Structure 1
Amino acid sequence: MDIVSTAPTPFSQLYGAHHSWLLGLLRRRLSNRWDAADLAQDTFIRVLKRPPAHADEVGERSYLATIARGLCIDHWRRRQLEQAWLQSLAERPAAVQPSIEQRAIIVETLYEVDAMLTRLPRNVRQAFLLAQLHGMPYKQIAVQLGVCERMVKKYMAQALLHCAVLEAELDGLLVQ
């Protein structure tokens, strides 16, 4: 019987050396061991995709903490969106409540839209929200943003392009 001996990979060494530390860090930040465990795993999945260039322990922990911090921010933002959605659902009659599957799809779509809006430049995002949520005409948006109306049209074109890309991505996700 042959026993194959494999040397530990750099990733398994990193995981073994820092998983407990990272889990403790995330538990303190999130006050929830289940979310902390999920985000710790997500952090290491990201590390698999982009390993750290640092070789020392301090550099590795700094890299892991940076990734985990970003994941925490995404987690908190997602929770805020979910809470806002659940609050709006609570105000609707039971007869028009979406199914659990529809709720999950809607929450995921809200999260994607929020992420897309966050990636837009500030003025583009503001112009889009003023037009779409508040129904403001371009001329009024231009005055509020301190730009010409033509610039608002450019902002809207940029935002709508991002919406079209997001819609195509979501369609691809929902069809599969």
Structure 2
Amino acid sequence: MHTPTHSPEQTADALYRDHHSWLHAWLSRKVGCPHQGADLAQDTFVRVLGSNELGRLDEPRAFLMTLAQRVLYSFWRRRSLENAWLEALAQQPESYAPSAEDYALVRDAIETLDRLLGGLPLRTRKAFLMNRLEDMTHVEIARSLGVSVATIERDVKLAFTHCYLASLDAMPDGTTAHLASVRP
């Protein structure tokens, strides 16, 4: 599909028309749900629109598969975070039952946190979450992950900096999100 004469929008449109059904079916099989597959296919095409590689596509399905796998990875990571929150919630007394609004706020916070931590190495994300969500000290995290305290200090600092910079990019007016207060 190498078509340098087409605009990125025309290329994205052609990709959508030619490959959406295939991508939707593939993602639906991966997650076991056609509705979730449709959402993930749409998320993939949103990434297509933001791609700088649209002008030089030789293998459109390989390109779409790479983007879809990234979307799928983010989906599973978000689902894992949500399940961890639900497990923590299940351990709370029955009298503590969050409202639908509280649940929506926590889910939004989880998705925001996941997006802000995207692109960081797994250990760095894990150390940050252990520190911020589980109130673990750097020494406890280092012991748990089998690395030095200095490594954890660097990882947590990197995650804070990454989140701060990502939040600046995400906020149109330049204000920042206060991630330190995000707790389940």
Structure 1 consecutive aligned stretches of length 4 or more whose deviation exceeds 6 Å: none
* RMSD, matched Cα: 3.5
1:153 shift after superposition: 4.4
Q: Give the counterpart of 1:52 among 51, 54, 59.
A: 54
Answer yes or no: is the 8 Å Cα contact 1:131–1:138 preserved in 2: no
Return 5+ residue gaps in structure 1 as ranges.
Answer: 1-7, 172-176
Answer yes or no: is the 8 Å Cα contact 1:85–1:107 preserved in 2: no
- Give the letter for the 2:60 counterpart: E
Greater relative contact order structure (CA < 8 Å, 6+ sep): 2
- Give the letter for the 1:145 counterpart: V
Query: Would you say 1:35 and 2:36 are equivalent positions?
Result: yes
What number of residue pairs does the alignment pair up?
160
User: 2:82 is matched with which residue?
Assistant: 82
Q: 1:140 to 1:62 in 2, by over 3 A?
A: closer
Answer yes or no: is the 8 Å Cα contact 1:40–1:68 preserved in 2: yes
- Give the letter for the 2:158 counterpart: Q
User: 1:5 is matched with which residue?
Assistant: none
User: 1:23 is matched with which residue?
Assistant: 24
- Seq. identity, %: 33
Larger fraction in helix = 1
- Once the two structures are superposed, residues 47-101 of structure 1 have per-residue CA deviations (whole angstroms, 9 ceiling, x without a partner) of 1222523444xx1111111111111111112122222222322333343322212
Partner Cα distance (1:120, 1:55) in 2: 27
- Give the letter for the 1:170 counterpart: A
Return 5+ residue gaps in structure 2 as ranges.
Answer: 1-8, 168-174, 179-184
Larger Rg: 1
**When the two structures are superposed, what TM-score results if normalisation uses the length of structure 1?**
0.68
Query: Would you say 1:106 and 2:113 are equivalent positions?
Result: no
Answer yes or no: is the 8 Å Cα contact 1:131–1:141 preserved in 2: no
1:13 shift after superposition: 2.1
1:140 shift after superposition: 8.9
Partner Cα distance (1:90, 1:126) in 2: 22
- Give the letter for the 2:103 counterpart: R
1:161 shift after superposition: 3.2
User: 2:136 is matched with which residue?
Assistant: 135
Answer yes or no: is the 8 Å Cα contact 2:131–2:141 preserved in 1: no
Answer yes or no: is the 8 Å Cα contact 2:127–2:152 preserved in 1: yes
